[in-house]
Structure 1
Amino acid sequence: MKFGSKRTVAALRTKQTVHVRFRMYKAKKRWLIAGTALLLMPALFQPGQEVHADSKSPQTTAVTSQSGATAETTAKTATGNTQPAGTTTQNTAAASSSAAVNAASSATQSSASSIASSAVASTGDSAASTSDATDSKSLATGSAAVKPQTVTQEDRSLASAAVQTTSAAASSTASSASSQASLAAQSATTTQANTQAPANATAAESTQTIGDYTYSLDTANGTATVTGRANANVTDINIGASVTYNGQTFKVTAINNGAFATLNNLGNVNVADTVTSIGENAFAYSQFTGNITIENAIDVGSAAFASVKAVSVTLNGTANIGTKTFAYANLSGGITIADAKTIETQAFFGLTASSLKIDGQADISESAFESANIAGDVTVNNAQTIDKNAFASLKAQALTINGQTDIGEGAFIYAQITGSVNITGANTIGDNAFQFAKVTDAINVPDNVALGEKAFYQVYAASLSLNGAATTFGNQAFAMSRIGQVTINAATIDQQAFFHLYTDQLTFGDDVRVITDGAFQFIENTKELPQIDGKDNPKNQIDSLNLSANIKTITNAAFYAAKITVITVAPDSQLTTLGYQAFAFATVTSMDMPDSLEQIGDQAFYGGKLVKVAFGPKLQSIGNLAFAEFGPLGNADFSRATALETIGDSAFAYNTINNAIAFPAKLVSIGNAAFVGNRIPALKLNNGLQTIGDTAFGYNQIQNELVVPDSVTDIGKYAFVYNSISNLTLGNGLKTIGQEAFEANVILNALTIPSSVTTIGAKAFNVNLMPKVIIAGAPVIGKEAFSTNRITVLQASTAQPATPDALNQSADAYTDSAHVSLSDFFDVAISGVTHQDIVVSNIKGSNGVKVTFDTASKSFKMPAQTQGFSFDWSLKGNDGVTYTGHYNVHLDDPVIRAHDISLFTGQVWKPELNFIDAVKQDGTSVPLSELTWTVTDENGKIVSEKDKNGIVTGDVDNTQPTTYTVTYTYGAESGSAKIYYNQRLAASYALVGTQTTTATGQPITVDTKQFSLSLGEGFDAGTLQLSDLNFFDANGNQVAADALTATGVCTV
């Protein structure tokens, strides 16, 4: 039975194809074939769907893929009078479901297409298909409606079961194939529904075959829409500007939906500039051996060129490129887009091409080029916007973005660029725009751009160039990135912009003014070598960093814990402020402070590694903890700091400063613990200094003379505790002397307390060697302020109270038996009592000789040949204050006189400390410089000595408690004395370490191995335990060790 309409026959063949597939499901012995076909076509059939034909009208079965394509679409078949063979017909065959099968199959697996190839007819070629073999029951001729073959309920059940059996396998298809399947389904549905003439076509509209193509002609408007290919042998698709039919010329203005979809072995596509609209799926899944050129198509519909294969694509004047228009297109050449206005969502998703160029003020929508794989360069010129994820996961050789573009959130996230990224004029680069991108060569960011949060977070690149004074940074814009060379020329660098940057070279341009807010915290070089013995590997440090001349402020942890070895400063530097934690915990060993520097803020170099520091003439203040905490700082030079006024609390605490220090004239205050725990050997205080804070110079090695100038009004608690000051002068403006201010020194001189002093703290001068104290005023004096000295002359008649308990005085007297009264040994005038009121006890004569004390004459009595004796004494003033001591009386006529002394570990012994004098028989004195001396340890071994040539060898170890004997010699005469070293009552400690841990919300485990504890002066610290540590958050609140969960920096 023959039919005049070739399209009707084609439709019948496709109906038979569906019928054959149902029979495949039904044949029990061949169920595996159907299962395999379904496995390879997951987008065609989904669990729970039925494929069926309605007995009333022709149906087409649409496909639902995993991405949610249309479930089912119905299109009625237009009918008309049968025309003779070879003439144009107005009948349009019903598009079959085979087109959907073909499209979906090609989207998922090419083998599925081959399985169904015998049953598939391409929609665009349906008009040219012929068949004489048809089922007479399936189609009526003439004006009769086309009837589909009947599908039984059994067929539906078996088909449904087969679908369900293979659903698990189908669901495992890769996501990109799923997206392609969605496009295929959309293409198939749209193709079969739209390549027919509209059911309500009017007399003014008709579908005609003209030459190689079919057209829908609008005689009223004189326009034509291309609906398909009439000649299957045509390979080049050339759509001209006009066609003529029945003497009327029609302007070609559109290409219909699905017009050339799923065609193979095509050549080139050229579309005239009269065509302003290309419909959905128009060329979807077709394969071209040549080029595609579109001129002036204002609108290109959704999926119009989805999954096409071609050499190149040129779009000129295409205003609107629809959703998924070129999704998964595969081009061996390049693609050029000119003058586009809108590029819709996923328009070029999954594109493969050799190059991509976009010209014109386009809005590039979300995911428009996501997952594109471009073998060559990508160039975007003058785009208005590049929206969210527009080029996410892009692969390209080079990327160039020109013009005032706004780059949106995640626009190039995960991009892989084997060349360089050049952005010449972007206004904004949004949050996460290039996050996780990998760039083999350089990244060049435009001048004055606004960078979003994490815009280039964790990117890899060979170099970065960032210019423009007005450039702004979002939080952690380049954090965690690994970039070989970084050049920055923005006025303000902040917001942790380069947090933990890995770079080998960092360069600042002349526009940089302010570096703040953790901009370069934790930066290091790119080597990332392992730790050595639990400590950072020094080879991970950036060798050097130059601070350009125009930088004025570095503050707020800008280089916190930065791993940089040397920082150099431009000779004409304008740097005025090094603020809070500017270089705290940084590994910088050398940095010259510029002459322009005015402020050094709190903790600016806290925990740092500077070896020496010298301050310039404009420096006004040094903040709290500025250079503190157990660093190797060994030299601090204030000689040029002529404007310096304040030194903050703990500013230089616990370093190893071992140079003599002289303070400049304008210095007003020295804070608490400012220099505690160093090794300062000599100190000169300026006239103009007013206050010396608590423990300001405690636990140093200050020797020889210390003069407190008249300008000083207050000396804090422990200000000079545990030093080796041997000569002390107090200024006349002094008001308060704090508790233990000068305790444990070796003050030898008679001390005058000026009348200006109103308060002397407890133990202020305890444990020294002072022989005489004169208190000129009436201060309030704390307990034991002068205890454990050698005081025998104490004058404080007007003091209120006179003095505190001056206990444990120890003195030696060298005399003869004619001068042994109390008046020979004491000069006391305090609180209404004198030496006549002294009570003597525990008298012991040498060699067992009995010595007595005559209370009437206040003198001692002894037999002849007595060589000496000792006694204890006490004196109680009218105010109830008690003074006590011990006296050693030597009755020989010595050539050399020396006395025993007690020192604390860490204090420096000098020969003059034991030596009193050496007197010849004629009464003339011999200076110490002419004597030789020898110091022996407890075993009699010589540890240090001075020979007759004045050469001193050896050293007196002051690190351990022990006893030495010093013997002074002049000719045949000698004199000896003891040096007692006692353990310090207190010592400095050093707790060093930093632990960096990623907060997960769970309690953080503190690794005590990351911290080390050491004690000075011979103390053994033992093994550090977690219970030894206390933790405090940024607000100073104590935090339990098992509650460390929040991010931030905790103080240990």
Structure 2
Amino acid sequence: MPVKQGTTKQILTQRWAITAATVAAIGIGVTTVPGHADETSAAASSAQATVSAAQTTTTSQATLSSSSAVSSAASSEATPNRSATASSATSSAVTKALSSAETPVSSGAVTSTAQPGSLAANSTATVSSSAAAGSGHLAASSVAASVAATITNDAQGTGQGTASAGKATVAQAAQQATATSLQIPVVPTVTAAATAAKTPAYADSSVFDWQLNADGTATITGVTQQVTGTLNLPPTYTVNGQTYTVTGIGAAAFASQTGLTDGLTGAVFANGLITIGDSAFAYLPNLQLVDFSANQTLQTIGREAFVADGLTQLVLPASVTSIGEAAFTYNNTLTTVTLPAALTSLGDTAFASCAQLTSVDLTPATGLTTITAHAFENDPLTTLVIPANIQTIGEAAFANNVHLTTLTFAPASQLTTIEKDAFIYDCELTDLVLPDAVTTIGDQAFLANAKLATLTLGAGLQTIGVNAFTYDNALTTVDWAPAQQLQTIGAGAFEYDSIMGDLPVLASLTTIGEAALAGNQLNSVVFGDQLVTIGDAAFSFNHLTGSLVVPETVTSVGERAFYGNELTAATVGDATTLGVDALSYNRLTTLHGPTVSDIVADEQLVTTFKMAPDTLPLTDLFDLNLGGQTTADLTLSNLTNGVTLVNGQLIIPQGTDRFTFDWALPLTTGATAYSGTYTVILDNPDIKVTDSTIFAGSTWTPSDNFVSAVTPQGDDLTLDQLTTVGNVDTTQAGTYQVTYQYLANGAVVSAQTATVTVLKRTATYRLTGSSTTTYTGQTPTLDGSGYRIVLPDGTICELTTGDLDFTGTATAPTAVGTYAVGLSAAGQAKLAAQPASQMYDWVANTTGATATITPAPVTITPNNVVVYVGETPTLTATVSGQPVDGVPVDYTFAPVTTTTAGYQDIQVILGANPNYTVTLQPGRLTVLASQQTLLGTDYTWTIGDPTPTAADFNASATDKTGAAILVTVDLSQAELTQAGDYPVTLTTSDGQTKTVTLHVVAATTGGDTGGGNGAVTPGEDPDQGVDPDTPSSPDPTPVVPDPAPTPTTPGSNLPADKSTDGETHRVIGDAAVPKTVTGSALVRSLKTNPRLRVPGSTGTSTTSTRQANGYRGHGVQSLATSHGKTTQLAKSKTNPTTPRSTIKVAQATVLPQTNENPLHGRLWAAIGLILGALGLKRFRRHTDE
């Protein structure tokens, strides 16, 4: 804009006016919005924003996402004279700011009606304003700015959270008198009185995070602040005039992990709530009360919803259909639970490990068909009724309920399956009657029910699982009769119980598993014609007496199947396979069976009574047909008391009252199929008893060895009429003597002694456990704490470090893998110290004991390498994590190429590394372009001059990095005494070579015009030259210099054809001090080039002695002098004095160190002074005007 003429004062006034106007323009628009009183605390809050004075319409937008603080503002109260628009989405900070923005406006009004709720995206309200708004009341622009500032502030994280897509539109006419309309988001609210009237006990919705669902419902997803005490959850959530039913509590909404709910002691749930999410109230030990009394809609309780809380009672709404996995686990103060009527799904471990849960009522849940795995495991239930609708009891569902005394199944029970471990370790249960519907009893279902005494099997039972009733030591009575559909008795199903009586015919029974009834007190067994398999040790260590008949349908009788009984006769079908020792340790004298190839009936112990005959046929003592071998095939040994065997007859000497012998039935295989010891008693004693062998752990009574007794008069006596002296300790292996006496008037009338030998049983202990270590290259130390020994009676033997070692490997393992673990010598000693070791010879079962060495994590990081094109890189890598004693990681590198410059990833190729999990990190190969150069030019040399050097050939070189390097000259092929052209080799320290030509010319004599031969005659002064020319004054006219070439390599700034005779160069490898040119050389130089143009100078100068000695101008110096070493490139025979004027010109040509022309600087300085003077003059004139 043109400046009007006037006085300085006027101009200053104008300038101040302009300045004032500018400041005013910048400062316009700052206003303060009065704060609206907080509805709950009545404390005023304020918001401030800046709006431009020139602004006519302002649009403030903020992108907001779901946030906890949305509900805080949404629940705030406001004056009930507002109209609201529809809203959706959430942001607590925005909502709170908006709900607090109501301020009295004199000529404009903000009107809305509201319900507690959340700000929604794009929600707006109208604010009217007029020109009068600027007089102390809230202007429209201020309100808009406040809203925009609040939105922006919260969107940046300064509030409790962010909201989604909130928009505020401000319409403002600055300095206009007409009213305008302001569109801003507002939070609809209701008065405090109205809110209290509707839900006086509900927690303020600002306490919660919210999620609004597309179906018009809301979900509580968290809390916005610390909550303590009892929390009354609201049934609805209202925002911007729309009310949402609260139907869900989100995952982990109130969980301890929020850090805000540890003080929560109670939760009251309103009607309408349908879902409580996973971990919603997890790990709140102070949460004692959950009140569902007002709720009739809850359907789903999620996984771990109330895990590890402090609940004391639980009454769930009848509407609940699903309780998730571990929903109420570890509620250690919960005492009673009643399942809801609508329940159809109960998650695994739903109520497990509730330390005080003594009562569970399952009966209301008539739609529930399965009690899932571990649902009530480790609870102290005392009584339990299984409703008729339950069809399956899951794995370990009631395991370790150590106080359970009564288990009842409802009439008309539909229960078909009792799964593995369902009632394991329920040691107080005494009586069990299984429903007829039960078809399957799972493995270990009732294992170690130590007080279970009676068991009644159901009519529909088909399978009894492995170890189903093992270690039920008190179990003496089993009612087998109803179980006529029973097909399988699993391995160890009744092992080490105390079942007495007979095992009757079970018509459908096909399989009797290994040790199924071992260690009981059965007296007899009768098999049906459906039986196919009798497993190893199936009936070992019982009290089976009399005759055993194995049906023809049986295909195999396992090893030791009837080992350690009191059988006297056995008949086995010819098609049956008899296992080793199947009938050993009995009293068999009658044996009919198939052909065998190994021991089947060893260690028989037989006592018989005969009436003192002189001879006794063996056929009176044995009835044998074993695969065609008969009594005649027996061999006798160790006959006592003079008895001999002659032609199958035992010859008994007169007066012999008893004798013994051993027998054996040899096989062609070298084995003995049938053997034992026979005792024959001939004196017909009044008291007849037998010796016996029993096994530790079994029972013994005097009746076991008593046969009969009479008085001396022949009257029969019962065992009760006798007195026994001595006892048998069946817990200790050994030999025991028991004497049977008949007393009359206190005196012993007759007596007999029986010998009872107690042998250790062969029993299997189970070593279980596992451990995992990371590969170190060494054999790991086995930590015994991860293992234990389980004895046949259920006793647990804990182990420590040193009790274990590796078995099955020739050397201790060090490599990655899984290895079998067994007892070390120390472990064996610990086992032998167990009381049970007095009864058992141990056989190890270590299949469940392993140790695993896992791969060690290692990282291979190729080391970055930089090479030049054509070089072969050495690739290496850093291996981290490799154990000191570990085998080296096997890896190689993929081939790389260095033919072109660039970057390559170094690829690692892994070999076989079973001991490592290898992570590869990137490495880079950088191939740089080589900067090797070797430059040189031909040189003409005069015979007699100093020997040519590298500098004479303008030689320079750089290595691959571009750094200058040494150049050497090979003159071996040059004849320096004879004119001619000779090849000269330039060589660098890094192997570069270049061949140049040395032109050798003959020297000329002084003053000769060409007629001489250049030879110097003896006696002549070789230094004598011509007089120097008289120097002339330097040309006053500056000569514009040729542009100095930009050097690319050291020493190459001067082309070969423009080399300056007499210039001094630094050449690598020459002498470190400059050579001083003699007078004759300088004279020749001056005569040849009296006006030498020097690159970088402003004119032409004559080379001076100072230059020749290294004191020349800066622009003369060659880049070849990079190492401070100089050499003279030309030689003359004169040494004239150079005029000082020439020296001065050469020195003044350029500025040292800059190559700048001083004239240039002066020119610019002059221009500056002129412009400055003109400016000053104009300034003064304007000032005067």
Aligned to 1:825: 621
Q: Are 1:875 and 2:665 counterparts?
A: yes
Q: Can you list the C-alpha shifts for 1:703-747, whole angstroms capped at 9, x where unaligned?
A: 332224232111111211222323222233211111111122222
Q: Does the alignment pair 1:683 with 2:478?
A: yes
Alpha-carbon distance between aligned partners in 2 of 1:873 and 1:717, rounded to the nearest angstrom: 30
What letter is aligned with 1:664?
Answer: G
- Residues of 1 paired with 2:440 and 2:272: CA distance? 34
Distance in 1 between residues matched to 2:33 and 2:235, nearest whole Å? 47
The answer on whether the counterparts of 1:653 and 1:677 sit within 8 Å (CA) in structure 2 is yes
What is the correspondence of 1:948-967 to structure 2 with a 5 Å cutoff? Answer: 958-967=730-739
1:311 is aligned to none
* 1:424 correspondence with 2:235: yes
CA distance in 2, matches of 1:902, 1:256: 120
Go from structure 1 to structure 2 and tell me whether the alpha carbon gap of 1:830 and 1:921 turns closer, same or farther (over 3 Å shift): farther
Residue equivalent to 2:358? 566
Q: Is the 8 A contact 1:277 1:301 kept in 2?
A: no
Correspondence for 1:406: 218
CA distance in 1, matches of 2:16, 2:355: 76
Q: Secondary structure, in 3 states, of the residue corresponding to 2:236?
A: coil
Q: CA deviation at 1:987?
A: 5.2
Q: Which residue does the alignment assign to 1:669? A: 463
Structure 1 residue 894: Cα displacement: 2.1
Q: CA deviation at 1:659?
A: 0.7
What CA deviation, in whole Å up to 9, does each residue of 1:381-429 have, x standing for no partner?
Answer: 9x9x9657x9xxxxxxxxxxxx96524644x24332556323113699x
Q: Show the counterpart of 1:531.
A: none
The answer to whether the 8 Å contact 1:960/1:1018 transfers is: no
Deviations 1:974-1019 (A, max 9, x none): 333233333332256698999xxxxxxxxxx999779976645698
Aligned residues of 1:840 and 1:872 also touching (Cα < 8 A): yes
Maintained 8 Å contact 2:264/2:287: yes
User: How many angstroms apart in 2 are the aligned matches of 1:830 and 1:479?
Assistant: 71
Supply the AA of the counterpart residue of 1:422. L
- The residue aligned with 1:239 is 105
| Matched ranges for 1:180-191 at <5 A | 187=48, 190=50
> Which residue is equivalent to 1:1049?
none
Equivalence for 1:451: 249
Q: Which has the larger radius of gyration?
A: 2
Partners of 1:473 and 1:756 in 2: CA distance: 60
Whether 1:506 and 2:330 are equivalent positions in the alignment is no
Q: Which residue of the other structure, out of 332, 335, 348, is the alignment partner of 1:543?
A: 335
**1:206-605 alignment runs, 5 A limit:** 239-241=105-107, 253-254=128-129, 279-280=143-144, 302-303=149-150, 342=185, 379=204, 387=210, 406-407=218-219, 409-410=221-222, 412-416=223-227, 420-425=231-236, 449-458=247-256, 459=261, 460-466=263-269, 471-481=274-284, 482-487=286-291, 490-525=298-333, 542-569=334-361, 574=366, 575-605=368-398
Q: Which residue of 2 aligns with 1:769?
A: 566
- Matching of residue 656 in structure 1 with residue 450 in structure 2: yes
CA distance in 2, matches of 1:1010, 1:357: 65
Match of 2:24 among 77, 82, 103: 77
Q: Distance in 1 between matches of 2:448 and 2:538?
A: 18
- Hey, what does 1:712 align to over in structure 2? 509
- The answer to whether residue 752 in structure 2 is matched with residue 975 in structure 1 is yes
Does the aligned pair in 1 maintain the 2:688–2:706 contact within 8 Å? yes
Deviates more, 1:609-618 or 1:808-817: 609-618
* TM-score normalised by structure 1 residue count: 0.55
**Paired residue for 1:44?**
none
Query: Counterpart amino acid of 2:618?
Result: L
Q: TM-score, normalised by structure 2?
A: 0.49
SS of residue in 2 equivalent to 1:77? helix
Alignment-mate amino acid for residue 327 of structure 2: A
**Gap change, CA 1:504 and 1:57, over 3 Å in 2:** farther
CA 1:693–1:746: 2 relative to 1, 3 Å = same
Change (3 A) 1:623 1:1019: closer
Q: What residue is the counterpart of 2:1010 in the other structure? A: none
2:689 pairs with one of 887, 891, 898: 898
**1:946 aligns to what?**
none
- Change in 2 beyond 3 A, CA 1:54/1:1015: farther
Counterpart in the other structure of 1:747: 544
**Could you say if the C-alpha distance between residues 553 and 258 of structure 1 is closer, same or farther in structure 2, counting changes exceeding 3 Å?**
same
Say yes or no: does 1:912 pair with 2:689. Answer: no
What SS class does the counterpart of residue 592 from structure 2 fall into? strand
State the distance in 1 between where 2:395 and 2:540 align.
Answer: 30
SS in 1 for 2:566: coil
Cα RMSD after superposing both structures = 5.2
Q: Is the 8 A contact 1:805 1:883 kept in 2?
A: yes
* Aligned counterpart in structure 2 of residue 839 of structure 1, from 630, 635, 638: 635
Give 1:681 shift. Answer: 1.9
Which residue in 1 is equivalent to 2:1119? none
Cα 1:783–1:387 shift into 2, 3 Å: closer
Q: Answer yes or no: is the 8 Å Cα contact 1:734–1:756 preserved in 2.
A: yes
Task: Please give the alpha-carbon distance, in whole angstroms, between the structure 2 residues aligned to 1:898 and 1:544.
Answer: 61
SS of the equivalent of 2:337 reads strand
User: Do 2:233 and 2:269's aligned partners in 1 also have CA atoms closer than 8 Å?
Assistant: no
Q: 1:755 to 1:1037 in 2, by over 3 A?
A: closer
Unmatched tracts of structure 1, length 5 or more: 1-52, 60-74, 79-92, 101-121, 125-182, 201-235, 244-250, 262-268, 283-299, 308-318, 324-339, 361-374, 391-402, 429-445, 526-541, 846-850, 938-956, 995-1004, 1046-1052
The answer (yes or no) to whether the contact 2:380–2:404 under 8 Å persists in 1 is no
Counterpart Cα distance in 2 of 1:629 and 1:1031: 30
CA contact (8 A) 1:462 1:483 kept: yes
One-letter amino acid of the structure 1 residue matched with residue 739 of structure 2: T
Q: What is the alpha-carbon distance in structure 2 between the residues aligned to residue 240 and residue 1026 of structure 1?
A: 91
Distance 1:813 1:1039, change over 3 A: closer
- 1:751 positional shift: 1.2
- Paired residues in the alignment total 674
Q: CA deviation at 1:967?
A: 3.4
Residue 618 in structure 1 maps to residue 409 in structure 2: no
CA 1:800–1:841 in 2, change beyond 3 Å: closer, same or farther? closer
Deviation of 1:545 after TM superposition, in Å, equals: 2.4
Does structure 2 retain, via aligned residues, the 8 Å contact 1:407–1:426?
A: no
Gaps of 5+ in 2: 1-14, 35-44, 58-101, 110-125, 155-164, 170-182, 744-748, 772-780, 806-817, 821-847, 858-1185
Percent of residue pairs identical: 23
The residue aligned with 2:554 is 757
Aligned partners of 2:145, 2:616: CA distance in 1, in Å? 126
AA matched with 1:420: L
